[in-house]
Amino acid sequence: MIEEICQKAKVASVHMAELSAEQKNIALDQMANALEANVELILAANKRDVEVAKGKKLKTSLLDRLMLDHKKVQNMAKELREIIVLADPIGTILSSYTHANGLVIDQVCVPLGVVGVIYESRPNVTADAAGICIKAGNAVILRGGSDALASNLAIEEVLRAALLGTDVPVDAIQVVVSTDRKDVEKLMSMREYVDVLIPRGGADLIKTVIEKAKIPVIETGTGNCHIYIEEDADLEMATPLIINAKIQRPGVCNSAEKLLVHDKIAKSYIPKIVAELQKNGVEVRGDQKTCQIMPSIKVATEQDWYTEYLDLRIGIKVVENLKEAITHINKYGTKHSEAIITHDVTKATRFLQEIDASAVYWNASTRFTDGNQFGLGAEIGISTQKLHARGPMSIQHLTTTKYIIKGNGQIRK
């Protein structure tokens, strides 16, 4: 079954590479219309998934990822339409020159081919990933988590039906039905058919894909994101910024998981921010100095500093200076999104330069690390690696290049 899906995707990818921007845009518009027209079908399937998840006592933050409503389905359609207006990267000449021997050499942007996306819980990824891959001229194989299987299959049914009558082949979008791990591992070995894998999910999923895949992987990392409060920070600005970064959507990878506070303001500021966090239902854990200031909170373990909570929980650590903050973040962070709050340009510049992450912020919430928020359109993931793509990945990151060489009889001597 997995091999058959991969074979179909490979055939579809050949046709995808031939399509014009207009042909792909027409298909994307049909897909968006179909999502809106079939919202009740999608929500009925999602309701079944949610009921099963509640029976398994899935934590609230993960239920938030899984649950769809009319607004979320409309947003899925909206994001497909936002992809339509993006410039098509395929065929773009990135460089062009004439060699001394007369050869005209062009470096041209082309599709990757077949993209496999392995993800957890979020049904909206099914539509987003399909749309981004199609715009970039790729076929996509989607393997979502078992928690969202009914939702993903309903979305696939709607999107594939929408492709009928367009120039985009139906098999450009396929969802893997099997929840058997052996089938997932087989997908990860289909090097003959699949050109790249993109894992989206928790640390365990990403680790498994990286270790077992025989196909190139674009690593989308977990988000153990930090906010560092310098001694000169505007604390009236800092507090709502931290609350936004932590509680707006605690179950997503760009939410703040750790707070570092300069020692000189720790005694005055930590009680205020802890009170505000607790008022919003956040469990606070702290290092020794933080617990001395706030004896009622839990002591953070060494494992806490490495952990992406994806929940209403945060760790607080007191640091002596900027150097200690940078060292801590580079040791425990996941190279996702990190922020500093300060008025000092020199300190901010040093933080932005020395922090090893795909997105670094000065006086802004980490929640902005998102393809849509960056103006890239819907995203397929946040890459935390350093090769090919880093940060939010949209259509331009799902391409590669090809050299096209034109001559008039040249031979190498």
Tell me the pLDDT tens digit for each residue of 118-175.
Answer: 998 789 999 999 999 999 999 999 999 999 999 999 999 999 999 999 999 999 999 9
Judging by beta carbons within 10 Å of its beta carbon (0-12, 13-18, 19+), is residue 58 exposed, middle or buried?
Answer: middle
- Both tokens of 289, joined, read 């100095």
What is the average pLDDT score of the chain?
Answer: 94
Q: Running DSSP on this structure, what letter comes out for residue 317?
A: E
pLDDT of residue 125: 92
The answer to whether residue 85 scores a pLDDT higher than 90 is yes
* Residue 221: pLDDT over 80: no
Cβ partners under 8 Å of residue 246, min gap 6: 255, 256, 277, 280, 282, 312, 314
Average pLDDT over residues 208-215: 93
Each domain of the chain, given as residue ranges in start order, spans 2-219+385-406, 225-368
Indicate the DSSP class of residue 220: B
pLDDT score of 385 more than 90: no
Do strands 114-119 and 139-143 pair parallel, antiparallel, or not at all (unpaired)? parallel
Res 220: pLDDT: 84
Of all residues in the chain, what percent are helix, strand and coil, respectively (each to 5)?
A: 45, 20, 35
Alpha-carbon distance 322 to 338, whole Å?
Answer: 13
Q: Which fold has domain 2-219+385-406?
A: Aldehyde Dehydrogenase; Chain A, domain 1 (3.40.605)
- The residues that bridge with 173 in the sheet, in sequence order, are 140
Least confident of 30-44, 192-206, 319-333, 351-365: 192-206
Closest CA to 294 of 317, 313, 322: 317
Q: Tell me phi and psi for residue 40, to 5 degrees.
A: -70, -40
Q: What are the strands, taking DSSP E only, across 71-224?
A: 93-98, 104-111, 114-119, 139-143, 173-175, 196-200
- Topology annotation, domain 225-368: Aldehyde Dehydrogenase; Chain A, domain 2 (3.40.309)
Percent above pLDDT 90 for the chain: 84
Answer whether residue 377 shows pLDDT above 90.
no
Say how many C-beta atoms besides its own lie within 10 A of residue 254's C-beta. 21
